[in-house]
Amino acid sequence: MNEFELGRDFQDLKSRVEYLESAFCDYSFDPKRHDGISAMHYVSAGVQQNEEPVFWKPKKAMKLPVFMEGLLRVPKRLTQFDIMPESKTWSCHPEPLILSINWNSGGSDEFYRLQDQVFSIIRITEPNSGHISCTAIYSSRLVASGKAKSHYFPPTGNPNYQMDPGYFPLSYFKITLRSAQGGTLGSYTSPGYTISCQDNHDFTHIWDINAGIFDLIAGATWEVLGVQTVDRC
């Protein structure tokens, strides 16, 4: 087992402990109030370790198509210029990433899946200043199983609470950039999200990264944080 695998497995173990702690500490896990809870994925998720990334870099500066300018977060001031972009793109595993639910009455089912996963890092050099900007992109499609939906907790109506809004327990998607040795180079956590019965949409996360780590990035791992209480569709 190499250092990357050790780092990945350690993070996986840490996530499982955090998952169990949240389950026991959250008062909302009263089985009378909902039909089940989301289960953590028990396989390590991330880029495919046995495959080299696809590297792309044009031989000379170029003007990007308009549809790519937004995707690559090209600053508006640069859209009229030729630029030097380059990227590394990995395939991902497991494909698809399937999240499950455990029913209070017994048994389990698929909750939703993230399919057609791709992870890329992109570096763009500005033509005049030489300034370098870098972006990381995780993209997939979120498809609900149609068997469960996120449970909504309505206001309790307790007059002792000045603020008593209803709420959904949320899930969060955390992506960790990894070096060749498995070390952490930075991380990103998505805004919270819920699942509806008929969800079928893009699940894409884009964020800026430090240009100094571009060449050090050898991959990434990701995990779903937070436990959702669910109802049957």
- Determine the pLDDT at residue 24: 41
**pLDDT per residue as tens, the chain (233 positions):** 555 555 555 555 555 555 444 444 444 444 457 889 998 776 679 998 778 899 888 776 666 666 565 665 555 555 555 566 788 999 999 999 999 999 999 999 999 999 999 999 988 877 667 778 899 999 999 999 999 999 987 776 666 655 556 678 889 999 999 999 989 999 999 999 999 999 999 999 999 999 999 999 999 999 999 888 999 99
- Determine the pLDDT at residue 152: 85
**Residue 5 contacts residue 180 (beta carbons within 8 Å):** no
- CB within 8 A of 142, min separation 6: which ones? 112, 113, 114, 195, 199, 200, 201, 202, 203
- Determine the pLDDT at residue 20: 43
* CA separation, residue 226 to residues 13, 73, 122, 175 (Å): 15, 29, 29, 14
